[in-house]
Amino acid sequence: MPSGDEALAAAADCLYQSLKANSRIAEYFGDNVEELGEVLRSLLEPTFDGGFPNIAIADNLFTHTSLDGLVDVVLEALERPLPLDEDSLVAALRLVISDFSEDERVTILFEQLRRSVSIEDEEEEYADGLNRRGSRVTMTDVITDSLDELFLPQKQAQEVQDAWKAFLDSYPTREIAGETIYAALFDSAPSLQSLFKTPRAVMSMRFMMGINQIIMSLQDPKQCKAVIEAIGFQHLDLEVTVPRIAIFRDAIMDLVASEMGSKVSASAAEGLAMTLNYAGGGYIFIREKFSERVKILASSWKTANAEDGEDDMAGDEEPAEAEEENAEGEEENAEEEAKVKEGSGESEKIVSEKDMKNSQGVPTTFDEMFRFNAAVMGFANNTWMFEVLNSFDAIVKNVANSYRLQEECDVLALKMAQIKGTVKLGDYKAVMLASIRSLVPKDWDGAHEVAWNWLWDNVERMLEKQLELPAPRQRYLSRFLGSLEENTKQSIRQGVFVKFFALAPSGQDYFKQSTTRLFFIADKILDMTLDMYKNPHEMVDDISALGLRHVGYGIPTEFFSPFVTGCVEVVRELTGDETLADAFGWSLGLISRMLSRTINEGSTIVMKAVNSDSERTLRRAVSIAPRGKRALWMLNITVGTQSISPLYWAIESGSLSTANAMIKDLFVIRADRDNYYYGCDDLFERHPEIIQRLSTDAPMLLPTLMDGLIWRSHMSEGNRRRVNYYIKHLIQDKEEKFNQALEWLVQSKDPQIICHEVVTIFADLLWNRLANRLFLYSRLYFMLTLSVFIISQAILPHLGDGAADTETVRILTFVCRVFIYVGSMGQLLKNQVKQLRSDCKSRNFIRIGWLRIPGYLTSKQDAGYLVLFLLLALMCLQEPIFWCASHSTGDFPGAGMFTQDCPQAKTQKAVYANTSMFAMMLKWLLLTDLTIFSMRISAYVLVCNHVLSELCLFLLALTFLVGTFSCSIAALDTGSELFLGVPESSLSLTQIALRMFDAEQFHVMEEEETLIIAVSVFVIIVIAFLSQLLVAQISAAYRTIHENMVGYARLNRGHVIVVTMEGVSPKQWNKFLASLGFDVCLEFNEGDIGLPGGIQVLEDANAVPTTKDAIVRFGGSTHPSMPWPEDKTTIMDDGDDDKFDRLEKQLSKISKKLDELPSGGGGKKKQDGSSYGETGTGSFGASSSDSE
């Protein structure tokens, strides 16, 4: 095999031939073979850090997938600006080396090359082992074309078993023996380490138990074959090869020989080698043979569950294959689309037949058929059967994934252990086969019978091993954890992380929390191991959710294995109880397997982009997504029953630049000839509360989202421009009820976002078509009560010519006041009780100091209504008519029915009059909410309210100064009657401050120098300083609120709309929705029917100048599985940071090349004596002659 430069040249030549044979890129090849070969060698050279190793060159050195990825990258490079004086393909390959070396599609090619070398390394390891040991066992001893029963002589089989028992007895425990086997295997063949993903403590036990089970069954060939089949079934997803079997076998043989020495006879050694060869060959045979069975299971399972396989296959089409289809031309695309349509017609026919069967009550899925057959066969009360049924879909779909299949069976065993009663797994098999036969009648044959029997037999073996173990394991673990003292718990907490950091030092970089947090994690681990036995159903969901959170944390899964090993070792060292350690380790190992699987399944390239917080990385990640699933890649990652949203995780983790890029990408309207793709519906269906989430956690992203809901035409017609506002999901929710979007925006109290044109549009629609009339109707009654109140309090008592004392006026006054007490005060009481009850029920109280008040009183309007109710209640208690009711006759002016002038009501009449004045003022103030009908007036009122606080500060300061000076002046021995005491002084100073003081009175004070000085100081402070300061403060406050006064006015109107919409009837709401026509597709331009879900308006063409089409349109294939072609404008629009990053990389590469040049200017000599520095090409592509 070639090595070094020869191997590199051979690999480059193989790559050259493979690329030239590719129809997508063949047209770019010319006669410059040598130059192309040099560039390809430069491309492949970084594959191996220490130089190119030995490698066997073959036509299949590079796979179809890796080649397609490289072709995609080269085609992208060809679209970029390239030097004119250089061959385009050579220049593109140089660009790939410089800019795309870290691209996933290029690294796949490197990884493929490394894997091909690793197989050769395994063969060399095996050959070196043979040369070193002189073993007489060869690779041909491994039989892979059959799996017959292994017949060893009884004496030899007994010798092998005795030797193996002696080997295990040489170690204190079997766990240590398993650890030794594990270490010996990895030391002999490091290349195999990547195959084992299970924690070391678990994997070592599997090695030992598996080999022990095989050897102990040697004297029963039939049982030995069954064991090999069961273990081989667990290796279906592993690439078991003869060299790997030889490495594994020789590692075991060497270990046994080194430990036992002469105690192992030649016959026992030969028998052990034959047994390991037999097992390895059986694994290969089973993998090759059962691959067909796996295909049969997959196809028949789809049929049994009425799944449309063609659509699924189309949806999961690889991007590389999609790109290949894209290059085959429009004619082929048309044929493909015709086939798709034909397939859709057939699927519609199948669906209609399915609906017909459903209408007749005939089971059409495996779940339905199984339940039907279970009832018919008398197994309807076997609860455990339906537990298996719930997990059976995952079992069938993961039949070729041994780790996942074992995990499903382990979890199923835990769930079945919770069910009381006898479990006969054979009964499930009978019902299962009857059901699957009924659902696949046309395709069912002997191969199907064998495949399904084979599946269940292996699942049954796995379940039978575990069914009896959970109960005793739970008892052991429960007893241990329940008896732990605090000191012992502390030892476990500390020991877990000490062991883990010793096994995986780099793990310390991921555990940066405080010690108390780490101890909390250790406690949770102990609890989870026991809960796994007690509540497996809940734990499966909890572990999936925990795993998805670890996806966001970016935790490498390779740390789970040493972590589990460390935990098990701590428990084993602490207790010395192997049974307890087994119970603890099995549960924790299962948890770690589930977490690892969840993280691996959830670690998409989009999540990696979120963790790096890079817009550029995100664009690259979603660029390969099928156009029909592009939005879902950014919105949903589902593992089991749990899901995580990359968008929400970006917001939660603070990767706001990535979140912003996601929102922008979702709201880009992309189009091909057949369809428009717009992520608005996907976003609001996945996250209907997105407005609330952004308002709370990332308000800076709200403008981006709102901008995405607008489409503006870049063409104008008659000085008018089409504008589409896609506001459907802001107005209605999934159930077509009023959406809370406006309420969330109002709660954010952001005057900027509430003025965004999208919010303005949909809020004005709600106000103008629904809320304004209802709000006005609700205020009409209040205006009526105010009118009656004015008549009774301010008009009737002041009629001229004695008319106020007539009996008619008194009766009318009495009626008006009764109406106020019953109609107005009664309604206020009803509303106050209702709101108080609601807050008490929801425990909505606000603490102000030591006082707790209901939450509804935080609204100024509601607090005003409460004060008004109290004033009206006080007026009712002090009502003079009521107090004079029994004293209406007598000798006093105004005597008669409903009089208010009786002597007995004199005191109450004064209190009543003052209270009436305040109630009248408050009623008028509460009427100011009608200003929301005009944004200008509403904004003015809000400005007044805002600057009112400055006036209050002025009055507070004035009160303080008046009190200070009045008390000080009252202490003087003055003869002025205006300043004799504190009350007189306060009144005089207040009149001075308000400029109501008579100027002639200052002459009286001239005789008293101290008094005139004190008054003068007061005047200077109040008039010259405090008044001017008030003007400055009001001006500053106005400037502050002036920019946002319309926003605050709209927030006020938004609150009124939200409250008013609660009174809208379903009939009114449905009529309103129908008038908007959200189901009608809006035109983009004349004849171009676009997307539904919005409204279209015409605006002045000059209002928002738009010269670029907001819709990104692409040609080529229109199949939904095709990714979008890369947008060249996106490449050119990369941020400055990305440009600087690329420049930095280029400079770094140039610097490395310069460092590699020999010092002193003398280049390395060629064999012909010439120097590279003299005749070769320089670092910047110019020859020495050019430089001269």
Q: Binning pLDDT at 50, 70 and 90, where does residue 400 land?
A: confident
CB 430, CB 377: distance < 8 Å = yes
Tokens standing for residue 111: 């990884």
pLDDT digits (tens, 9 = 90+) for 227-260: 787 777 667 667 788 888 888 888 888 888 888 8
pLDDT at residue 180 in the model: 83
What is the spatial distance between Cα 849 and Cα 1132, in angstroms, rounded to a whole number? 58
Least confident of 33-37, 277-281, 589-593: 33-37
CB 157, CB 271: distance < 8 Å = yes
pLDDT digits (tens, 9 = 90+) for 463-499: 988 888 899 999 989 999 888 888 888 999 889 999 8
| Ramachandran quadrant class, 802 (left: phi over 0; alpha: psi -120 to 50; beta: rest) | left
Q: Binning pLDDT at 50, 70 and 90, where does residue 1167 land?
A: very low
What is the spatial distance between Cα 687 and Cα 635, in angstroms, rounded to a whole number? 8
What is the spatial distance between Cα 478 and Cα 472, in angstroms, rounded to a whole number? 10
Q: Which residue has the higher pLDDT, 815 or 306?
A: 815
Scanning the structure block, which residue is given the tokens 């941020």? 1135
Strand order in the sheet with 720-725: 710-717, 720-725, 1095-1100
Q: Which residue has the higher pLDDT, 59 or 95?
A: 95
pLDDT at residue 531 in the model: 92
Does position 1178 have pLDDT exceeding 50, yes or no? no
pLDDT at residue 124 in the model: 52
Does position 919 have pLDDT exceeding 90, yes or no? yes
Q: Which residue has the higher pLDDT, 1092 or 1161?
A: 1092
Q: Which is it for strands 720-725 and 1095-1100: parallel, antiparallel or unpaired?
A: antiparallel
pLDDT at residue 917 in the model: 93
| Ramachandran quadrant class, 264 (left: phi over 0; alpha: psi -120 to 50; beta: rest) | beta
What is the spatial distance between Cα 655 and Cα 649, in angstroms, rounded to a whole number? 8
pLDDT at residue 198 in the model: 60
What percent of the chain is modeled with pLDDT above 70? Answer: 83
Most distant CA pair in the chain: distance in Å? Answer: 144
pLDDT digits (tens, 9 = 90+) for 313-351: 333 333 333 333 333 333 334 444 444 344 444 444 444
φ and ψ of 1165, to 5 deg: -80, 140
pLDDT at residue 452 in the model: 92
CB 610, CB 618: distance < 8 Å = yes
CB 263, CB 273: distance < 8 Å = no
φ and ψ of 1098, to 5 deg: -110, 125
Written as one string, the DSSP assignment of 1051-1088 is HHHHHHHHHHHTT--HHHHHHHHHHHTTTSPPEEETTE
